[in-house]
Chain A
Amino acid sequence: MNALGDILSQGAQMSLVLGLAPLLTGFVRKVKARLLRRRGPPLLQPYRDLVRLMRKDVVLADNASWLFRVIPYLIFSGTWVAASLVPTFGNGLLFSWTADLIAIIALLGSARFFQALAGMDVGTAFGGIGSSREVMIASLAEPAMLITVFSVAMIAGSTQLANVAEFMGSDAVGLRVSLGMAFVALTIMALAENARIPVDNPATHLELTMVHEAMVLEYSGRHLALIDLSSQLKLLLYVSLIACVFVPWGMATADASVDRFAFGALLYLGKLTVLGFLLAVFETSIAKMRVFRIPEFLGAALMLALLATLLRFVSGSL
């Protein structure tokens, strides 16, 4: 395809993830509500919330610093760039070589770093509790994520997501024990990173076990809207990542025709629906954990990921 087409497909990808992210969150909320036999908010509620928040005044704490006001934009841009680098409907995007999987994880790490700083800026007890717990969770989740990436990258022979997806879609993969372990580990990570049950509860305020919501407690108006949007983007990113690595079928290649792209997009929507539904079912069927049980949960993921990597070292075919 020509350069214009490349830029168009990259732009389409960027606006697609931005546009779809609130919808995915709305969908998961709706399914959760239906499973609990509630009617639940309409699918488009997250968009309305965002628009309403953006139009409101920002109420800033008296001693908030300039950093506090900049951080929502930093978090948003880091997450958006990371999310637009994960292949969704088509592969081989223009900037796909800008950052590999390790860099995408690290970009999300940057966003989290700033988020934890924001929690401490105003100097309230709630902000501190959130940041402190967030870094505790991250100190386990991030290495587990990296080691999962190692195992997947060693199987595919690349850390470039586009190549990983291509390899996983080919016949060369076969059934592997290490891939299964990596899948479980990645799922646990996705739950932890997105502050979902059983690690954190996305629907709660004012609970002593909360993590993510405690850090953003002092935010309001457009700042809060950006942070909410970033969280939704991050959820979409992880779901796309799991789809891209473990069920990459139907993804359009860079030189495909327009209808292949359309087919890829439809299939991508289907994958999002299935994975979002599974997430909602999982969340409604499990209770939230105590804070100090989380390390055991994440430690299990860490060990699984390490085992997957070791298996790869022991035998090329496992």
Chain B
Amino acid sequence: MIAVALLSVAALLVLAPAGVVLSARPRGSIILYGGCLIATSTLCVTALSDLLFFAHLSPSATLPIGLPWLGAHFRLDALSAFFLVVVNLGGAAASLFALGYSRHEDSPGRVLPFYPAYLAGMNVVVLANDAFSFLVAWEFMSLTSWVMVVSHHREAENVRAGYVYLLMASFGTLTLLLAFGLLASGAGYSFDAIRASHPSAAVAGMVVILALLGAGSKAGLVPLHAWLPLAHPAAPSHVSGLMSGVMTKVAVYGFVRIVFDLLPEPAWWWSMVVLLVGGPTATLGVLYALMQRDIKRVLAYSTIENIGIIFTGLGLALAFKAEGLGWVAALAFTAAMLHVLNHALFKSLLFFGAGAVLGATGERDMEKLGGLIHRMPKTAFAMLIGCVAISALPPFNGFVSEWLTFQAILLSPQLPSWGLKLAIPAVGGLLALAAAFAAACFVKLYGISFLGRPRSDVAASALETDRFSLTAMLALAALCLIAGILPGLFIDALAPVSKAMVGNIMPHQVGLQWLTIVPIAESRSSYNGLLVFVFAALCGTAAASAIHRLASDRLRRAPAWDCGYPDPNPAIQYSASSFSQPIRRVFGSVIFAAREIGEMPPPSSPRPARLRVELHDLIWDGLYAPIAMVVGFATERINILQFFTIRRYLTLVFVALIVLLLVVAL
């Protein structure tokens, strides 16, 4: 099993240099993305069969590369297998999409060599079984994705995005390096040795904080999210889909591996920290998303929301695990893992849809789109499913994982510690708010860009996207529906992961009457997506056929009514900013310090009146800007060092030497 996985990763690594050659050829990108599709599909199938049938085996392998006394350790246990499925499902979908989408790429040489390397990097992170390989692969993944973020480097915005991303990625790797340093201090770098060692409570606590900072900065936890909405949209759309849908999940993997696997039994306050970061991340992420007008940026902010939901689930799992309620911990952990998979499915789908729109119109700005459901009906259909699924509405998959998370929250009165008792209802409230905002956000995204009348000529003359892209999107949409109506299959597949990480599993689901899911007991709660779907479909078709047969099926077209005053100008429609104006007014005045400034010209002046909306990112202003200012100030001061004479440099060296000697002597 692991040999197949490693060989496929090696194939991806071979494809990377081949990309340099292939990018010069007319059909090179087809060959490269085709190769990636085959490699990732192989990996996906291998990992899936391992998760389903051989999860208890956990085969491992050691290759003689890397540090000479350590080698590179790899292991394919249940957790790695599950995340391999997620990574490669997303990777295969992105490669399939890119088969068609790559014709929009004007400089393939900037993307093609790095794309397979990036995929390989993510796979190695998940497979690594020692700290050294893990960190090297992690950094490899960051750097290859960074190259693709700045691939359109002529746009100033992308360069800035790349700069911020590089800084944050280095910060994340640094904290992870420190975390592993603390873990390995008594044991050694291999994960087996770390698992066997018993760090003290203080060290374990520090490792949790460092892991949360390191993995959280990659996943986009507030307040470490600032780079994400800049960097994810800047990359080509299939890479954006991978970064948002998959790479954030690799970060989640890093956190789970360190906190649930490598560290000993958790303390209750760990979960408190995770919950207090996760809940606000969910709500703030989607509120930011609501204020945006760039399609891809909306999607990137919504990724932050979903990461918040996942970390809330993980926090709940930690809390229940720490307090010895293993069966609830299994429920919360399974909910989080299911959301990992679900979010990878619908976020990739939505980014591909945004890419299709970008390819057809050249626009990412929603204010210039509209009416695309007429011009791109199939893309619009797939996007609709993605939007419903991400808004956590039944019968699609997003609802199932949120429902499971809510069920875990409802069991929290059983926890003994008071801090958690008070924090968890608040976090539950934040999640409920986030779910409602997500629906509002995706009504806006879909309604403004796909419905209504076209707001620009490019939108009015858009053409449907190619077959490869459509296949990728429709396949993901179908998976969203399947995971929504047959969640029992997915919950059962996750059992070995939950067994390995929290030591408990949810009750066995497949085989229950009508494939219902029952997280705890039937007297508590149950949900059957399949029956809801069949019920609703039957009611809808029955109503339609009855009305058409018995009452009337005639239809005629006429101009829109609009209360008698239809205006042919498409500018009369609601725009993205006006759609979110009520929510901005209710919530934004505090959270974004939003202000609307109306400028009326004096009565005699022919100037138009203007309305300006000011939004502030308080986290950027309050956290990042001061740090940037201090760093800038310090570098400017230190800059004098660059212009010394040789004499002064020698003096400096001499003084430094004296100081060092003094330090050693003392």
Contacts and interface: CB of A to CB of B under 8 A. Distances in A.
Interface of A: 51, 54-63, 65-67, 73-74, 76-78, 80-81, 95, 97-100, 102-103, 106-107, 109-110, 112-113, 116-117, 119-129, 131-133, 135-136, 138-143, 146-147, 150, 153-154, 157-160, 163, 205-206, 217-218, 221-222, 225-226, 291-292, 295, 302, 306, 309-310, 312-314, 316
Contact of B558 (A59, A77, A226, A302): A59
15 contacts: A65-B374, A67-B384, A99-B532, A102-B403, A103-B403, A109-B393, A113-B388, A120-B451, A128-B574, A128-B579, A135-B444, A218-B561, A226-B543, A226-B547, A310-B422
Contacts of A123: 370-371, 451-453, 560, 570, 573
Contact of A117 (B392, B446, B522): B446
Contacts of A295: 586
Given A120-B573, A124-B572, 12 more contacts: A55-B552, A60-B556, A63-B374, A95-B531, A106-B403, A109-B393, A121-B451, A123-B370, A123-B452, A127-B574, A206-B563, A221-B555
A60 B433 CA distance: 36
B552 A63 contact: no
A313 B421 contact: yes
A21 to B, nearest CB: 14
A22 to B, nearest CB: 15
B570 A100 contact: no
B337 interface: no
B428 interface: yes
Nearest 5 CB-CB pairings of A with B: A128-B574, A123-B452, A120-B447, A77-B540, A143-B432
Interface stretch (B80-88, B233-241, B404-412): B404-412
B561 A147 contact: no
Contact of A132 (B377, B436, B574): B574
B558 A132 contact: no
Contacts of A113: 388, 391, 393, 439, 442-443
B578 interface: yes
Contacts of A126: 562-563
Given A65-B373, A67-B373, A76 B552 contact: no
B540 A76 contact: yes
Contact of B407 (A74, A109, A159): A159
Interface in B555-608: 555-563, 566-567, 570, 572-574, 578-583, 585-586
A136 B440 contact: yes
B537 interface: yes
B558 A61 contact: yes
A56 B267 CA distance: 67
B448 interface: yes
Contacts of B538: 77
Q: How large is the interface on B (under 10, 10 to 19, 20 to 34, 35 or more residues)?
A: 35 or more
A131 B586 CA distance: 16
A98 B532 contact: yes
B586 A142 contact: no
Contact of A310 (B380, B406, B425, B543): B425
B402 to A, nearest CB: 8
B413 interface: yes
A271 B439 CA distance: 34
A302 B572 CA distance: 34
Interface in B231-274: none
Interface of B: 370-371, 373-374, 377, 380, 384, 388, 391-394, 399, 403, 406-407, 409-410, 412-413, 421-422, 424-426, 428-429, 432-433, 435-437, 439-440, 442-444, 446-448, 451-453, 516, 522-528, 531-532, 535-541, 543-544, 547, 551-552, 554-563, 566-567, 570, 572-574, 578-583, 585-586
A295 B587 CA distance: 10
A275 to B, nearest CB: 25
Most chain A Cβ neighbours within 10 Å, of B442, B544, B585:
B544
A129 B573 CA distance: 9
Contacts of B452: 120-123, 128
A125 B451 contact: no
B552 A62 contact: no
B551 A110 contact: no
Nearest to B452: A123
A58 B585 CA distance: 37
Nearest to B447: A120
Given A132-B582, A136-B440, A160-B523, A217 B451 contact: no
Contacts of A133: 582
Nearest to B524: A158
Contacts of A206: 563
Given A77-B543, A226-B543, A120 B448 contact: yes
A217 B562 contact: yes
Contact of B551 (A60, A153, A222): A222
A135 B441 CA distance: 9
B443 A131 contact: yes
Contacts of B559: 61-62
Most chain A Cβ neighbours within 10 Å, of B371, B373, B541, B585:
B373
A259 B422 CA distance: 47
A116 B524 contact: no
A234 B58 CA distance: 52
Contacts of B585: 292
B613 to A, nearest CB: 15
Contact of A312 (B413, B440, B447): B413
Contacts of A136: 440, 582-583, 586
B552 A222 contact: yes
Most chain B Cβ neighbours within 10 Å, of A56, A67, A217:
A67
Contacts of A100: 525-527
A4 B433 CA distance: 42
A153 B439 contact: no
Contacts of B388: 110, 113
Contacts of A147: 425, 428-429, 432
B440 A135 contact: yes
B492 to A, nearest CB: 19
B383 to A, nearest CB: 11
Contacts of A57: 552, 554-556
Nearest to A306: B429
Contacts of A119: 447
Contacts of A146: 406, 432, 435
A139 B380 CA distance: 25
Nearest to A291: B582
A306 B399 CA distance: 22
B525 A160 contact: yes
A313 B410 CA distance: 10
Contacts of B573: 120, 123-125, 128
Contacts of B523: 158, 160, 163
A159 B578 CA distance: 38
A221 B444 CA distance: 27
A57 B553 CA distance: 7
Contact of A124 (B374, B560, B579): B560
Nearest to A157: B524
A8 B543 CA distance: 20
Contacts of A77: 535-540, 543
B572 A54 contact: no
A139 B413 contact: no
A310 B525 CA distance: 21
A131 B447 contact: yes
Contacts of B380: 67
B439 A138 contact: yes
Contacts of A121: 373, 447, 451-452
Contacts of B547: 54, 222, 225-226
B433 A143 contact: yes
Nearest to B541: A73
Contact of B410 (A103, A110, A154): A154
Contacts of B544: 73
A97 B516 CA distance: 8
A128 to B, nearest CB: 3
Contacts of A106: 392-394, 399, 403
A55 B551 contact: yes
